[in-house]
Amino acid sequence: MTSSFATHIVLATFAGTSGIIFNGYIICILLWENRIKTVNHLMLLHLACVDIAFCILILFGNTSLGFYAFDSDNVRLEENDLVFKVQGFLSTLLPLILIWTICGLCCDRYLAVSSPLHYLSLVTRKRATIFIFILWFCASIFCVIPFFGICEYSYSKARFTSSLRCQAFDKNMFNAFYIIVYTASSVILPIAFIVICSLHTLLIARHHRHRISSAIYEITLRAQATVTHQKSPQYLSKAKRQYAVFTLSQLVTVAFNVPFHLIFAIESLRLASITPSVVTFLTVLLTLTPSINGYIYGVKSKILKQTFKRLLQRYLYKKQASLEIDRRLSLRSQSSIKALSNFQSLLAVATFTSHELSCSTRRNSAPNIFSINCSRVNCEIEKPYKYDLRRQSLSTIKEDQIQSTFIPLFVVSENRSSEKSEQEHSVNINTITEFN
């Protein structure tokens, strides 16, 4: 018993974890791309959410509550505990929702293939939402009935979890009727619906594929006959057959659900005795249902694959673009720092040269009031003294020095002007006498 319990715990943990990963992949892609615009995407999102809820129930119910019940073997276990009742209610409700959601996806695909021109008018988001609400309402009412004494939710040691338990007696016909309705709604009707829709879809697809391939083959033969003029035209290579694995794989989920519910009906009606190991194995198959749904509708879906590739390429492009922008900004900042340093050095050189030029122009333009004779040897020593003297203002110069330097210049200029006027006067007199 201990080894089977440990094996069941390990398999349940694996099933719950893988189901959360696969269905989380579906939800992330649909929400990230914001592609919940069609009925198919809406049903896929609903299926993934229900699968994740069922995986959480498996991880919590088959591990934590299983350890609690397994440790309570020596102690009297309360089979009517509220926790086990809630667990049994959810473990009965969620598989029923899952199987009918898959039926909704099959119906959507069937309508898309059988009547493509009227698909948008037949299948709308409003109708799909109404279908989901009706499904939850009917399934909830159907699973609430055991709380009123017809059947019961109790812990099963063979399943290591709480499940629905019914016993059909001759006096109580409600239990037998409930067992029949539950088996029909969870096994017979979904299987019949999925098989009929899938077979009809396969027949339509095969018919259209045959017509398309024959038309292409005929056109190719005519083109070869008109161009090559050969008596024996080359035959087309047979196209690879694309088997409808995806359509038939939907039956795998039903195949994993059917044995568990059939065993429940057989045990309830007491048609045969079943060993606990078989019941445990079939319970493990039921826990693998969310993982299979996530793999078939998520990992193997071409639309989700293309969406994931596009999102990955977009993410890598944005990352590469951001790295390139950062690299260019760093190079630009480095070049701007270098240009700023060069500009500062050029500015310093320009200010120094302008200062030297201003000093030289002052030196050349200002009159040498103080004649300071310096030789070539002493000139470098006396330069600071010259600059200090030239920077003095005129107010510090004595008046007698100004008169001694500037008055002779004015006197010489007056003498020269008087001489010029006398010469012009004499020239005018001579010209007049000659004319007379």
Pick 278 or 245 by higher pLDDT.
Answer: 278
Q: Which of 72-76, 247-251, 260-264, 278-282 has the lowest mean pLDDT?
A: 72-76
For tokens 């609903």, what's the residue? 46
- The pLDDT of residue 11 is 79
Largest Cα–Cα separation, the chain: 178
Residue 305 pLDDT grade (very low, low, confident, very high; cuts 50, 70, 90): confident
pLDDT bucket at 184, cuts 50 / 70 / 90: confident
Dihedral sign from CA coordinates of 3, 4, 9, 11? positive
Is residue 422 pLDDT above 70, yes or no?
Answer: no
pLDDT of residue 201: 81
Secondary structure of 423-434 in the HEC alphabet?
A: HHHHHHHHHHHH
What's the average model confidence in pLDDT over 246-257? 67
Output the DSSP codes for 91-157.
HHHHHHHHHHHHHHHHHHHHHHHH-STTHHHHS-HHHHHHHHHHHHHHHHHHHHGGGGTSSEEEEET
Alpha-carbon span 70 to 92, nearest angstrom:
22
Average pLDDT value for the chain: 70
pLDDT, one tens digit per residue, over 352-383 is: 555 555 555 554 554 444 444 444 444 444 44
Q: Which of 246-260, 261-275, 411-425 has the lowest mean pLDDT?
A: 411-425
133 — pLDDT class (breaks 50, 70, 90): very high
User: What is the pLDDT averaged over residues 143-169?
Assistant: 77
What does each C-alpha distance from 140 to 96, 133, 135, 354, 412 come to in angstroms?
A: 10, 11, 8, 95, 131
The answer to whether 290 touches 52, Cβ cutoff 8 Å, is yes
Of the pLDDT bands very low, low, confident and very high (cuts 50, 70, 90), residue 241 is: very low
| Tens digits of residue pLDDT in 310-346 | 777 877 888 778 777 777 777 766 666 666 666 566 6
Whether 192 has a pLDDT exceeding 70, the answer reads yes
Q: DSSP characters for 187-243?
A: IIHHHHHHHHHHHHHHHHHHHHHHHHHHHHHHHHHHHHHHHT--SSPPPPPPPPP--
User: How much is the pLDDT for 338?
Assistant: 63
H or E element in which residue 165 lies: strand 161-165
pLDDT at 135: 92
Report the run of H or E that residue 417 belongs to, with start and end.
helix 399-435
Could you give the 3-state DSSP secondary structure of residue 162? strand
Considering only 51-65, 75-89, 134-148, 167-181, which range has the smallest mean pLDDT?
A: 75-89
> What distance in Å separates the CA atoms of residue 401 and residue 386, rounded to the nearest whole number?
18
Q: Which domains does the chain have, with CATH numbers?
A: 2-300 (1.20.1070.10)
Q: Which two tokens stand for residue 197?
A: 């829709």
In terms of C-beta density within 10 A (0-12 exposed, 13-18 middle, 19 or more buried), how is residue 276 classed?
Answer: middle
Q: State the CB neighbour count (10 A cutoff) for residue 430.
A: 10
CA distances from 239 to 113, 205, 212, 294 (A): 22, 15, 12, 30
Whole-prediction pTM: 0.64
- pLDDT top residue among 406 and 2: 2
Q: Which residues contact 64 (CB under 8 A, 6 or more apart)?
A: none
Q: pLDDT for 202-240, tens place per residue?
A: 888 777 666 666 667 666 666 655 555 444 444 444 444
Please list, residue by residue across 350-375, b when 16 or more beta carbons sit within 10 angstroms of its beta carbon and e when fewer do: eeeeeeeeeeeeeeeeeeeeeeeeee
Task: Report strand pairing: 152-156 vs 161-165.
Answer: antiparallel
Per the model's pLDDT, the better-predicted residue between 211 and 40 turns out to be: 40
Both structure tokens of 398: 């004595």
- Rg value, the chain, Cα: 52
Burial zone of 207 (CB within 10 Å; 0-12 exposed, 13-18 middle, 19+ buried): exposed
CA dihedral 180, 186, 189, 192 (to 10 degrees): -130
Out of 1-15, 27-41, 218-232, which region has the weakest mean confidence (pLDDT)?
A: 218-232
Structure tokens at 352: 């120094």
- Please give the pLDDT value at position 130: 92
Q: Please state the rounded mean pLDDT for residues 10-36.
A: 82
- Per-residue model confidence (pLDDT) at position 339: 64
Q: Read out DSSP for 11-36?
A: HHHHHHHHHHHHHHHHHHHHHHHT-T
Look at 19-23, 47-51, 429-433 and tell me which has the smallest mean pLDDT.
429-433
Query: How confident is the model at residue 358, as a pLDDT?
Result: 58
Question: Contact 16/55 with Cβ under 8 angstroms?
Answer: yes
Residue with tokens 């040691």: 157
Q: Please, which residues have CB within 8 angstroms of residue 144's CB and are 6 or more apart in sequence? A: 89
pLDDT of residue 110: 86
